[in-house]
Structures are given as C-alpha cells and as structure tokens.
Structure 1
Amino acid sequence: MSQAFSHQVHFPSPDHTRRFAENLSTRLRKGDVILLQGGIGAGKTHFARSLIQALQVRTGQIEDVPSPTFTLVQTYDLSPAEVWHADLYRLTHPDEVEELGLTQAFQEAICLVEWPDRLGDLWPDKALLVYFTPVAEDGHEDHRVITFEGDADTWRTRVLKSVPA
C-alpha cells in the first residue's frame, strides 16, 4: 500500500500559481484526477484555466476556457487525454456526479474538479487534492498557501518538480 503525500507551498502571486499549473500540465496523463478545494475566490478556477490553457498551447488547439459554474462541466479534446473541468458547487447529491458521466471520466480523461466535497463516496483513491488558502500578506490579497495531498507514488515527484523556482 502506498504512502500518503502532503506538501505545502506559498505562492506569492497568481503568476506563481499559473506557472505551477503549466509545469504540472506537462506531467499529467489519462486517468489523473485533481480535486480543487477552497472557498469562493480562492484560486481554483485560475489554476484550472492555467493548466488547460497550457495543454492547449502545446496541442495548438486554443479556445476560450470559461468557468463551468453554470454548465457544470467543460470538456476539451487535448493531448495527452481529453480534459474535463467540473464545478460541482451547484450539485446537491453525489448521484448527480454519475449523471454527468464524471465517474467514467475519472478513468478515461484528465479531470479537474472544483468543490470535490460534493463527490461524497465517489472521491477517487489516487486523486490529488489541491487546497487553496488565500493569505493577506504585506497588503496584498493575491497570496495563496496551497496544500497538496495524494498518493505518494502517484503525485510526490510530479508535484515537487512542478513548483516554480
């Protein structure tokens, strides 16, 4: 059985968060699930948008990356796999997750899931939890402490190599 991995990083700006997401995007593969947790305005959508845009640039398939707040799921046909960006904020029961086809996408796509607490028992075992905590520092509101938790064999190296210098 694999060990759990936990790592915390201070990102002093949205640009640092973007660079981390871009770096991590190069290390993702089919079946990876990233669960984005934090309050409204914590940086979840910024992270997801940055990661998706980095994949788009590499595949030459540039398109708008809107927040899926109202559509619940946005999909992108990218390489190395289709990308699903889900915002589960408006869901009221885990059964709705299955109706969206998200549990199947966990196996067949790269999934970025905002508000993963709505998954209930459907939380994937090998998912990476990325927890965003805004921190007001030196009069700046855009600092973030980001905590990463997941399966060590799956995520430790990929996360640590993605942190910008």
Structure 2
Amino acid sequence: MRSMGKKIKQRVVLVVMLLVVAACPALAQQPADIDAILQGAESMFKAMKQKDYPGIWKYISARSRTTIVDTTAKGVVKSYSREQVKTDFSIGGLIAKSYWDEYLRYFDPDTALEQSKWEIGPVTRQQAEIVLQHRKSDHPARLKMFNEGGQWKVGLIESFGTERRDRPIW
C-alpha cells in the first residue's frame, strides 16, 4: 500500500517538474518578445515623427496596409490602379506623402513617444497590446500589435479604426 502512494507521489512530482521545465523556455522568451513588441511600436512612431513614409509602411500590419490602400485607391483619380497605389505607399511616393501628411496633421507622434506612459498588455505568440496612457487623458489608448513573419507590426487600423473616420483620433 505504501509503495502505491509513493508511486503516485513520484508521478505527481514528475508531472509538476515537466510542467515547470516546459514553461521555462516560454518565460525566458517573454522579455525578448516584449522588447521586440515595444521596439516595433516605437519604430513606427519614430518613422511618423521623421516623416519616413516607407518606414511607417514597414512597421504597420498587413491588414492596416491593405485597408489604407483600398480606401485610398477608391478616393484617388481613376488613373491609378490599386497596385500603383500600393507601390506608391511602399516607396513613400506622392500618394503616400499626401496620405501621411494629412494623417500627421491630426496626430502628433510625440503624444505617444514623449507624453505617454507605455505598459505591455496581454501578449500571445501572434498578438499583443500596448497600453498608452497620455498624461492628460483619463482613458488609455490600446495599440494592437501583430506578429507577422517574426516581426511585430502595429495594427494602426485595428487599433484606431481610422478607415471609418475623417481623421485619426488619439
């Protein structure tokens, strides 16, 4: 009878040890992931501040890029195809410059970079959230981040839904 209780204890200890060992790599990777998540968002805001239009494009999510291209393509003269609009955004051409200049008329990246407290929210392998609390706001902004091909991208449209508004909100 004693040996049966001892075997059960051993199995329980073994299961607990396996769970701890399995959790260690995930815990060890979390700070690096958090750094990469924060770096992706910070890089996008810095690109906005520097008016680096291809840089902005590089750091936003695929869904945000698709939505921006689709919305812009509908609004430009019919002489531009959707592909031409997409290419223009990727190289920071005239259409991209017009779009981002207008966007930045209403949004100052320094509100995120210098005037807000950043906290990491929920994190999974594919998605994360950064909570940005502006010093003069009662409610934080929640910046959605997406892991695309091993790089963390800002879900600009997913976070702020600017495709449904006349101008971005903060």
Q: TM-score range by the shorter chain?
A: under 0.3
TM-score by length of 1: 0.26
Considering only CA atoms, is the larger Rg found in Structure 1 or Structure 2?
A: 2
Which protein has greater RCO, CA pairs closer than 8 Å, 6+ apart? 1
Q: Which has the higher helix share?
A: 2
